[in-house]
Structure 1
């Protein structure tokens, strides 16, 4: 349970970190936008000053315009008889006083004076701005425009369709008249698409890192859960194996004690029966021990087969007869042989354990009456061994896990086991280059089919 809380807390922490990173990226983006706007402010000031000086220096223009101050008394030495009077009224003067930090009264006076003969040419403004922006490595589409604040309209612009762009960053506005109703400004189009990719990479990398961390935590949680389940299954496995070995050991002990009895020693029939029982239990324990060792060796990559040529039909018939003799309840096990050639090249011992496991499983998961049908036939250059029962069956969702190690289906039945028999069947079949499949229906029964190639294809 504590792993679940730790995983949830870790995922929450990763999410919070990603949100904080996203906020940081957003702040960086805003900072870049602010820096761009500051650059535009400097550019528009520089461009306007250069353009104003250029217009003042034109041939026929006035290098030093005559300006009459709006006060009652002109400055000493100023001839006011042949000058133009520029008076913005009290509102204009108050506005000029408020904006002394942005532009001087003299500049406004010169602009209003010179614009009568040489008005601002926005194409030249764009040309000068382009040079300065390029020098500052700002390669963005831009335009200049003159706006009227009273009517809130654009008087003149170098952009064909200014309303087609929603992402625009404007520079500060340079007033062009004393009343400060006309302004010049510079605008940059779609600056986000230039700035955003630089920030987006940081956000994308943070997102990928967060997803990777969350996925790793998820995998870790699943791994821990699987390890916990595996540990529980192994404990059950050791418990069941110990219990399973306990019975034959008890039988062997009883058999040895019985053989020490003088009456049994003298009775040849009883003595032979006790020896046969002891031998069967020893063979059973040896078979299961070899199966466990084979699986362990296969896990370590040390498992090897020792194939020989033998009669598979004889092996199946012998195992079926042995199962009938040793299983209480008089089970019915019939074998149908359709093979033309019963000789195969495989590891005989492991093939005996394989078929024995399939028959044991069919008996174990049968109902009150045991009815098992074994069929041997050829299909597409394969020797097929089919073991079909009429037992409890396997649900559809368990068909995919029935061959997994320590996986047991049908645990609600009375049958006991440790969930490695079918895994052993699958591994041995694949080691011989074959395959194993299962068909089953709950309450109807199961059919396990082992296919072994006729050619010598042992791994």
Structure 2
């Protein structure tokens, strides 16, 4: 069916391309071209059903019905042509009820005659809008739910990574402080006991102290392997906090001297910063500096001289670790921060003393601080590692 009212009924048969008009109980059949559009078809049916040429305002009503009827056949339109004082000049349909309960459209200026305008009233039900917009509303709801779920996952992942970072730091801290420092103290006390309290003729006493030192060395080696396995297996995450850098460095120097009490080590601190408090990962930054010191002792001379210098360059925190070791050739300096890489001088007969993870760990820690680490070295003149941190204060 194309159109119906109290006087006329217009229908279309798509198989025969025929319009059937029943007007005043009289049937009329019209054959049409198969290429005619639906809008033209409707207007022709309206014309044939009424028996006269449609007025422009009636044609507008037909066009409105063509576009809306596929969604709802209940929609009604009342089109009004108004003068400059909004008085009614023309109306379609003329017999339609009052428009007080209908929704008015914008008042459109026609432009043909000064002051004349067009306004359409309609009873556009909400169900039509829902049918038309349902797919869009459903898509928006799904995207919104996905966005909320994604934000929830990001927040959960962020909290999880913070907890994992704290767990990593706690685990490594236990290995470093709860194992390494006590073992170093035990080793020192046993060595003193062996030198001053046990007679050179006491073979059993010497044998027992030697056994203790060997077991301590085994545990120290095992703790280092666990430490490096953790660093290698777990993606490092840093958790920044405010701490006293000067105090931590002084404690670090004392621990290193105690751990290497059997060596003559010169380990000095030059603290030139205007403040002692910085904002960084206390555990990882101190561990990174510890690695640099351990390397200087491990690969340095019998009596290594190491200096830690802290100063401010413009707004940057600078930490230098200098040693008087054998140095590193220029062509190998760009490789030393790679995982598992170790500098070995074949001519000197030097053997591997580590796992090639220490400097890679230092590099990653400084990178996670949005900082940079560089090396300045020439063979025979030692190394200077420089750590540069841009964001090291809370303000």
Give the TM-score, by structure 2 length: 0.42
The structure with higher relative contact order (CA 8 Å, sep 6+) is 1
Which protein is bigger by CA-based radius of gyration? 1
Between Structure 1 and Structure 2, the one with more helix by share is: 1
